[in-house]
Amino acid sequence: MPRKFFRKYLPDADSIKQNRYTRVFGAALQNQNIWHLNRRSVAGGVAVGMFTGLIPGSNPVQFAAAALMSMIFRVNLPVAVFVTLYTNPFTIVPLYYLAYRLGAFFIGHQNGNIPQQELDVWNLPLNEWVPALLHWAASMGKPLVLGLLLMGLLFAIAGYAAVQLAWRAYVILQWRKRKMRRAAAL
């Protein structure tokens, strides 16, 4: 993957270090490993982002978890935070449904159907939507938690492998192009 692409769209280390919300991390943000754009750090950032993207709650919770995990595992922090955005209001319900079905399958529930509890957020004020969604999700219990954990791990492994393979393929193509240019110049 071209580093120029990532550098173009991701914030630089200084702007994140100066942000009022991230200043509390201080020395942890000084580690250069979380800012490097190499195959290992970007692939690790994607894996962390894919895993933390399924954490129940809003984006700030997922962002904070991705930032914390990327500091712990020393992978690219901006990539990890950005990748969490794959969960959004359009994708969260199908993803959680699949997570519930996966968890129910592994726990051994026969039908794997979601408990019939009504989710009526339209009659609630906007600030009560998240608590209502969390209550609805909590009613699903162990199958949902297990399914989210398993899906998070599967997505993280798949994301890591996809970035590793795509990065390697890009490098090989660039080597071949360079070799062909050199051969044509002779």
Contacts of 62 (CB under 8 A, 6+ apart): 52, 53, 55, 84, 87
The average pLDDT across 20-33 equals: 71
Evaluate if residue 131 carries a pLDDT over 80: no
Q: What pLDDT is attached to residue 114?
A: 57
From 111, 106, 88, select the one nearest 145 (Cα to Cα): 106
Q: What pLDDT is attached to residue 117?
A: 59
Q: What pLDDT is attached to residue 168?
A: 95
**Could you please report the per-residue DSSP string of 84-122?**
GGG--TTTHHHHHHHHHHHHHHHHT-SS-PPP------T
Evaluate if residue 95 carries a pLDDT over 60: yes
Q: What pLDDT is attached to residue 43?
A: 95
Evaluate if residue 89 carries a pLDDT over 80: yes
Instruction: State the Cα–Cα distance between residues 53 and 59, nearest whole angstrom.
Output: 8
Q: What pLDDT is attached to residue 85?
A: 93
Of 76-85, 88-97, 136-145, 157-166, the one with minimum mean pLDDT is 136-145
Q: Average per-residue pLDDT in the chain?
A: 83
More confident residue, 29 or 80: 80
> Percent of the chain having pLDDT more than 70?
78
Evaluate if residue 113 carries a pLDDT over 70: no
Evaluate if residue 111 carries a pLDDT over 70: no
The average pLDDT across 173-180 equals: 94
pTM of the model as a whole: 0.75
More confident residue, 24 or 164: 164
Instruction: State the Cα–Cα distance between residues 33 and 99, nearest whole angstrom.
Output: 32
The pairs formed by 148-154 with CB atoms below 8 angstroms and a separation of 24 or more are: 148/54, 148/55, 148/56, 148/96, 148/99, 148/103, 150/99, 150/102, 150/103, 150/106, 151/54, 151/95, 151/98, 151/99, 151/102, 152/50, 152/51, 152/52, 152/53, 152/54, 153/51
Of 20-29, 54-63, 107-116, 139-148, the one with minimum mean pLDDT is 107-116
Evaluate if residue 73 carries a pLDDT over 70: yes
